[in-house]
Structure 1
Amino acid sequence: MGVAFASLLGSGAAAAAYGQTPNAGSHVGSQPVFRLDGGNTTYAFGVNERGELQQLYWGGRLGEHDVIDPAKSEDVLSGFDSSYNNTPQEYAGWGAELYLEPALKVTFADGNRDLVLHYASSSKHDDNSIDVVVKDISRAVIVTLHYNIDPESGIVARSATIENHEPNPIMIEQAAAAAFSLPAAHYTLSYLSGRWAGEWTLNEEAIHQGQRVLESRRGSTGVQLNPWFAIGKGNAGEEQGETWFGALAWSGSWRITVEQDSLDKVRVTGGFNPFDFGYLLEPGEKLESPVFYAGYTDHGMGGASRLLNRFTLTHILPQAPSPKLRPVIYNSWEATQWNVSEAVEGALAEKAAALGVDRFVMDDGWFGQRKSDHAGLGDWYVNKEKFPNGLKPLIDKVHSLNMDFGLWVEPEMVNPDSDLYRNHPDWVLNFPGRPRSEDRNQLVLNLARPDVRKYVFDAMDKLLTENDIAFLKWDYNRNWSEPGWDQLPANEQKKVYVEFTRNLYSILAELRAKHPGVEIESCSGGGGRVDLGILHYTDEVWPSDNTDPLDRLTQQDGFTHAYPVQTMAAWVTDSPHWLNSRTSLMTYRMLVSMQGVLGIGGNLNNWTNEDMAIARRLVAAYHQVQKTVTQGDLYRLISPTNGSEFSATETVSPDKSQAVFFAFVHSTQEGRSFPRSQLLGLDPKAIYALGSIEGKAAEGTPTEASGAWWMNHGIEVALQGDFQGAAFRLDRK
């Protein structure tokens, strides 16, 4: 059963005929009750006696014939606690007696700012989708709330379309995609934070009364906080307990507010960041919010991440529902930096091909007058000094080595020292007469402008049309400042926060449509633009510039709570590492990266024959298990966080025919051995053969045993020392 309701009414009609279908429960009279069922989840909401749309239930799936009582507004507690404020509305306007976070706040042309949204109508699309229309009690502001539940995962996609049918413009000052509510209980909030080279830190804290605001004011997603959350009830842990989770599909400035009210109920509201926000809607115009995805599980944080990651693979990524395996890449940045040339890159390509690499990527320095990060951005023509015959000879050489070719670009940026900026200094985000702040010697192009959007698309289209390029590493190396758009009237300039991101999405979509073989990575000085919005247009992301293997263990742990391994680029680079001066073995570095989308970024000119042999052997082993590792169900068996000496992960293929187990030790002490690891997710009745990818199991470990044995008895690994790793595969007989 998807969406359950008795009848549909025309726009603006009364709700008298609504009720649940017989198989969903008894008829509830004049108050509509809507029910969405998917996976192990039921999401229900209805219209209360005042006409407000109110959440009724969100949790484990209810029985088909269970009756959900109609909505009833909360009682008034005092003159300070109004019923309107305490009732968990699905999409509350700021008006009447609302003191909590609103979903929508507007100013009308006459200065009126009161907005009270009541139910008007609904329309069913299929068993899993419904649109519900709410309208202000007197003004012609109409909001269509879009609901869709995934039948497999139970993840609900919610968004809002706001329309102005007033005779005059209205100013939208705050607009959420959705608000979700949870009843009073003890909850723990989890979220991801970070900084450059220190992304993907998983934070956990108790939810108390008041607001916890997660946001980016940077114009893009940002590394400081990611638009993802999880809320565990009571003692929920990694593999047990009720957990609600969500992710906002928006790559611009965003905000998620987690708020516990005076009755201890929790509300999560997410959408455009209202900071410096203002979107003028002329009569007849509409504004569409981002999509806010949210789900439920009773299998803890691990269950939450597996549901969301599977959903991302099958519904979000450009190649969904069956994305291709990501090629193992070699990237030339650390070997050459800006000093690229046909000869230098060709020699590196030969070494990369010898490792079994699938794709050769040339990084920065190939275009314009690019000899450092001080010049050239914006001038997307091939540098004739470095490549006198263009890129074709290098691309042909790469192809002759049985690899395809990728290229680094940063299309949304410009150096002041560039032909583009000298010709169009007005094309950057700026406030006229004010300083133009430079980070990394560059400025941000105002992609919201139609002429800038056309230039960026044409430049990338020309590059892809004239060259056989299979992959773009699409970088974005600074956040916004001075976000002015003086081509528009003053009261419309804040539209830049929406139109910039919309144009970015449209460029990526149009490029992919015209060049369907091209794959794209979202990169932003590390993990600065990672969200479900950008992942609808890109195939993978760059999680961090920090490739130190020990740091990557914790970063990958955090990343996979919100995003699938299929999207997580993971490079092997050189030792000692440039950031921490840490020395580590090639096997350790390779195994850490083999937990993601394996890539190699070290300077192959300095690798020893032994390094090359180890990498070649493990690249071949990775190819054999990659589908399981990147598209299977991930179990985090031992967390590397909080100073843990050990860490371990296991990934199981969807059909349970294969599992891959990784184990790592930071540094063993006092003769301790690696703890026995009980595996998860296997078929208990099947027989699995144990094979070593790298390392040894403890003496006496069977070479074959049932899934029940591996899950109940577990596996012991012979692993001691500093910065050591091991990996095993289990194949069903």
Structure 2
Amino acid sequence: MIRYENGSFLLSTPNTSYVMQVNRDGYLGHLYYGKRLDRPLVQDFLRSEEIPSPSVKPGEKVSFLDNFPFEYPASGVGDFRENCLEISDSEQVFGFEPLYKGYIIKKGKPALKDLPASFGHDCETLIITLEDNVRGVELDLGYCVFNDCDMITRWNVVKNLSEKDIYLEKALTLCMDMELEGFSVIRETGVWAREHQAFFTQIQPGVVATESSRGESGHEAAPFIGLVSSNATNETGEAYGFSFVWSGSFLGKVWTNSFGLSRLVMGVNPNNFRWKLKAGDEFTMPEVIMTYSSEGLGKMSRNFHDFIREHIIRSVWKDRQRPVLVNNWEATYLDFDDKKLIEILRTASKAGLDMLVIDDGWFRESKVEPEGGLGDWVPVKSKFPDGFTPVVEEAKKLNIKLGLWFEPEMISIDSDLYRAHPEYALSFPGRVPALCRNQLMLDFSNPDVLDTIYEKIATQIRESHFSYIKWDMNRPICDAYSRYLPADQQGEIFFRHVLGVYKIQEKLLMEFPELLIENCSSGGARFDCGMLYYSPQIWTSDDMDPVERLSICEGTELIYPVSTMGAHVCKNQNDISGRLVSFDTRGLMAIAGTFGYELDISKLSEEDLKKMPAQIRLRRELDKLINRGEYYRLSSFDRRGYRIPGSIAKSYDCMEIVSRDGSEAAVWYMKPLYEPDSRGSRIKLKGLVCSADYDVTVITDADSYFNPDTALLNKRAISGEELMNAGLCLPVIHGDYTGVLILIR
């Protein structure tokens, strides 16, 4: 619901409200975001007596501009806090002062040109237009309020109505001025194989920021920022969440002054950004989705999960049972050929798998180093003398689908494409470009490059009928100079690169609507809502060790649904951590995700090979619950200091997914290190029906689900009231790195 009354805008979802007001001089101020309000605010939250408007006290305009709670602050005219929009021209004249012009309210949600964005019908859109008559620039602030969830989205469009070109030096999407006494900022950081580690930093005067200038979100930062009150837990206290629907460089920042007033901003990172806006043109900023919870971080997460499932992911695979696959990467790395793949296919058929994904190496001569072939995308003769034909024919005979790995944004110097078109690679004139993983970045601002790469991918799909592609990105952008763009548009390379990625993936889905895309970037370095708009799943991390994945998955689940998270069963001894974990535990833990295998199944022991069909069958039986259920974080294994302020460190990790009607639930539990002479854990479940009775089965392997007599625990007719309030008493689970799956029905 959106209401306008006497200069105030009230935007309300089922449980939250967002309020703005235009002051007497046309400045748009932010008043409130929090629990739902049924009536407009009547107090003077703009503090017009403390901060008089310029028409009242013209001699103190700078003081006003530097203290007013702007809904969208610009630069150069007196607000010295973090701003969102900087504009210059060819004469290097800066300064922008947007004032209120008008608004419109309309049903539904508009698409954003060339950008991924939320969608829906049961929603309303508000467009507030601000203008700077001196500049000849209009700014449309877009807001969409969804009636089926507690989410509000924001985006902006800058319009150059003047007769001369201007340059956007900075264009952040979101600003929110707030009083956040006692709050902490949540950021997600990490490195390769240790992504999405959530950290909490208490707000004090100064800056807390999360950002990437790598051309992607990167392992070091995720395009998310959260705020939690001092009393917040997973179930209580206040929590705000802001997620950027963008897959490139970004900035999220909380700036706090000595009065305790905080300004939160989020948008495209101004580093390596400068956009030429010609006379009559417009520029659309990517969308931010935001939510507020008065029921702790858990409710914030569930708000995000529901919204992403219903209003971000478009794929026809969103609610379908996705293929249980085997990926050959850690099975073979680069050393494989058609005969090896056929061997894996035959084992996959016996186990009941749906798909084989052919990973990196099919186009390279090297069996050791990732060198050569990027950009050509044809099967290398030394490994595939007859192309993919033998593999395709065997897969068809066995009724197994095929998937193929690509890294479309890169090019090898040792490739036919580079030899023919060296100008397709980004590089500074006169300077040898820096290699990363032996490769260069393609110039995705060049339409010829996009067309060339698209045709190479599409040709493989057309000829060999691949039904899945894994789109990888393994290096950041540097040497950002384009032979295609003119000199005054070189600052657009980073932004246009991401638009190029979106354009190719959109085009693929138009030609191949049944295609399942899994995005990836050296693991989870580009896990964001922008990518989820094109693919219903993203590879979570190259680290498949189920112990290492505890914190990786918890940080990812803070924002994204479990159904979007790529999860595979790894080798007995993990190649990254060296840790030895049982096949049973690796299988049960990977079920909480898209599920698959990434090891040489043709070399599995008979004992483990016999366990695969039960694991696959169990994952299929839980598919609807995992895809549509509600997520609850019951406990965090505290190893790296990740902990909600005020919470208690636990020696075990525990996560629950419960059906929306409360009729069934699955709980994943792992105590990484066994404690001698310890007691079993008591877990208080969530989301069940108090008056209902439930059967509880605790299993350490998938076979036990189908043979309950072998389960670790079987209990009948326990009330939901007991399970949620008194809890479930687990027996002592012996051994390190042992996980169990608890099934409640």
| TM-score, shorter chain, exceeding 0.5 | yes
User: What's the secondary structure of 1:420's corresponding residue?
Assistant: helix
CA RMSD of aligned residues (A): 2.1
Aligned counterpart, 1:374: 371
1:37-76: CA deviations, max 9, x gaps? 113111111211221111121101112x455557635534
Aligned counterpart, 2:34: 59
Aligned counterpart, 1:118: 99
2:604 corresponds, among 593, 604, 607, to: 607
CA contact (8 A) 1:431 1:486 kept: no
1:246 corresponds, among 242, 245, 250, to: 242
User: What's the secondary structure of 1:271's corresponding residue?
Assistant: strand
Deviation at 1:668, TM superposition (A): 2.2
User: What's the secondary structure of 1:597's corresponding residue?
Assistant: coil
Aligned counterpart, 1:598: 595
User: What's the secondary structure of 2:194's corresponding residue?
Assistant: coil
User: What's the secondary structure of 2:191's corresponding residue?
Assistant: coil
CA contact (8 A) 1:576 1:584 kept: yes
Name which of structure 1's ranges 701-710 and 48-57 shifts more when overlaid on structure 2: 701-710
1:510 corresponds, among 498, 503, 507, to: 507
1:704 corresponds, among 711, 717, 720, to: 717
Deviation at 1:575, TM superposition (A): 1.9
Corresponding position: 1:530 with 2:527: yes
Deviation at 1:327, TM superposition (A): 2.0
Instruction: Give the partner amino acid of 1:400.
Output: K
**What is the rounded CA distance, in whole Å, between the counterparts of 1:635 and 1:272 in structure 2?**
31
Instruction: Give the partner amino acid of 1:679.
Output: L
Unaligned runs of 5+ in 1: 6-18, 20-27
User: What's the secondary structure of 1:82's corresponding residue?
Assistant: helix
**What is the rounded CA distance, in whole Å, between the counterparts of 1:729 and 1:198 in structure 2?**
29
Corresponding position: 1:457 with 2:454: yes
User: What's the secondary structure of 2:555's corresponding residue?
Assistant: helix
Aligned counterpart, 1:728: 742
2:290 corresponds, among 290, 294, 302, to: 294
**What is the rounded CA distance, in whole Å, between the counterparts of 2:229 and 2:284 in structure 1?**
32
Aligned counterpart, 1:642: 639
User: What's the secondary structure of 1:710's corresponding residue?
Assistant: helix
**What is the rounded CA distance, in whole Å, between the counterparts of 1:516 and 1:610 in structure 2?**
40
1:153-198: CA deviations, max 9, x gaps? 2211100111111221111100011212322421111111011111
Instruction: Give the partner amino acid of 1:4.
Output: R
Aligned counterpart, 2:470: 473
Instruction: Give the partner amino acid of 1:704.
Output: A
Aligned counterpart, 1:281: 277
Corresponding position: 1:45 with 2:24: no
**What is the rounded CA distance, in whole Å, between the counterparts of 2:666 and 2:519 in structure 1?**
27
User: What's the secondary structure of 1:562's corresponding residue?
Assistant: coil
Aligned counterpart, 2:584: 587
**What is the rounded CA distance, in whole Å, between the counterparts of 1:376 and 1:507 in structure 2?**
20
- In structure 2, the CA distance between the partners of 1:328 and 1:693, relative to structure 1 (3 Å rule), is farther
2:345 corresponds, among 349, 371, 394, to: 349
**What is the rounded CA distance, in whole Å, between the counterparts of 1:655 and 1:55 in structure 2?**
38
Aligned counterpart, 2:661: 655
Corresponding position: 1:107 with 2:88: yes
Corresponding position: 1:224 with 2:223: no
TM-score by structure 2 length?
0.91
Deviation at 1:368, TM superposition (A): 5.5
Aligned counterpart, 1:22: none
CA contact (8 A) 1:44 1:56 kept: yes
Name which of structure 1's ranges 332-341 and 215-224 shifts more when overlaid on structure 2: 332-341
Number of residues of Structure 1 aligned to a counterpart in Structure 2: 705
1:420-475: CA deviations, max 9, x gaps? 11111111111111121001100110111111111111111222222211100101
Deviation at 1:199, TM superposition (A): 1.0
**What is the rounded CA distance, in whole Å, between the counterparts of 1:645 and 1:691 in structure 2?**
22
Aligned counterpart, 1:439: 436
TM-score by structure 1 length?
0.92
User: What's the secondary structure of 1:582's corresponding residue?
Assistant: coil
2:135 corresponds, among 132, 139, 142, to: 139
1:448 corresponds, among 438, 445, 448, to: 445
Deviation at 1:561, TM superposition (A): 0.7
**What is the rounded CA distance, in whole Å, between the counterparts of 1:98 and 1:510 in structure 2?**
43
1:574-596: CA deviations, max 9, x gaps? 12211222111111111221122
In the TM superposition, what are the counterparts of 1:615-634 in structure 2 within 5 Å?
A: 615-634=612-631
Aligned counterpart, 1:86: 67
CA contact (8 A) 1:45 1:71 kept: no
CA contact (8 A) 2:51 2:68 kept: no
Aligned counterpart, 2:557: 560
Aligned counterpart, 1:11: none
User: What's the secondary structure of 1:575's corresponding residue?
Assistant: coil
Corresponding position: 1:329 with 2:310: no
- In structure 2, the CA distance between the partners of 1:80 and 1:571, relative to structure 1 (3 Å rule), is farther
User: What's the secondary structure of 1:289's corresponding residue?
Assistant: strand
CA contact (8 A) 2:273 2:495 kept: no
Aligned counterpart, 1:13: none
**What is the rounded CA distance, in whole Å, between the counterparts of 2:563 and 2:735 in structure 1?**
31
1:258-304: CA deviations, max 9, x gaps? 11233312221111111122111110111110101111011111111
CA contact (8 A) 1:665 1:674 kept: no
CA contact (8 A) 1:33 1:70 kept: no
Corresponding position: 1:156 with 2:130: no
Deviation at 1:374, TM superposition (A): 1.1
CA contact (8 A) 1:366 1:382 kept: yes
Instruction: Give the partner amino acid of 1:237.
Output: T
- In structure 2, the CA distance between the partners of 1:613 and 1:701, relative to structure 1 (3 Å rule), is closer
- In structure 2, the CA distance between the partners of 1:396 and 1:354, relative to structure 1 (3 Å rule), is same
Aligned counterpart, 1:34: 9
Deviation at 1:215, TM superposition (A): 0.7
- In structure 2, the CA distance between the partners of 1:38 and 1:578, relative to structure 1 (3 Å rule), is same
**What is the rounded CA distance, in whole Å, between the counterparts of 1:59 and 1:699 in structure 2?**
45
**What is the rounded CA distance, in whole Å, between the counterparts of 1:610 and 1:224 in structure 2?**
40
Higher relative contact order (CA 8 A, sep 6+): 2
CA contact (8 A) 2:155 2:286 kept: yes
**What is the rounded CA distance, in whole Å, between the counterparts of 1:319 and 1:376 in structure 2?**
30
2:695 corresponds, among 689, 697, 721, to: 689
- In structure 2, the CA distance between the partners of 1:159 and 1:622, relative to structure 1 (3 Å rule), is same
Unaligned runs of 5+ in 2: 53-58, 108-122, 641-649, 705-709
**What is the rounded CA distance, in whole Å, between the counterparts of 1:475 and 1:700 in structure 2?**
42
**What is the rounded CA distance, in whole Å, between the counterparts of 2:663 and 2:389 in structure 1?**
43
Corresponding position: 1:418 with 2:424: no
Aligned counterpart, 2:486: 489
**What is the rounded CA distance, in whole Å, between the counterparts of 1:233 and 1:86 in structure 2?**
24
**What is the rounded CA distance, in whole Å, between the counterparts of 1:584 and 1:701 in structure 2?**
25
CA contact (8 A) 1:392 1:467 kept: yes
**What is the rounded CA distance, in whole Å, between the counterparts of 1:650 and 1:680 in structure 2?**
8
**What is the rounded CA distance, in whole Å, between the counterparts of 1:430 and 1:277 in structure 2?**
17
Deviation at 1:382, TM superposition (A): 2.3
In the TM superposition, what are the counterparts of 1:248-263 in structure 2 within 5 Å?
A: 248-263=244-259
**What is the rounded CA distance, in whole Å, between the counterparts of 2:610 and 2:42 in structure 1?**
64
**What is the rounded CA distance, in whole Å, between the counterparts of 2:301 and 2:307 in structure 1?**
10
User: What's the secondary structure of 1:290's corresponding residue?
Assistant: strand
CA contact (8 A) 2:469 2:516 kept: yes
Deviation at 1:350, TM superposition (A): 1.6
Instruction: Give the partner amino acid of 1:708.
Output: E
Aligned counterpart, 2:359: 363
**What is the rounded CA distance, in whole Å, between the counterparts of 1:39 and 1:51 in structure 2?**
30
Aligned counterpart, 1:178: 174
Identity of aligned residues (%): 29
Deviation at 1:396, TM superposition (A): 3.2
Instruction: Give the partner amino acid of 1:711.
Output: M
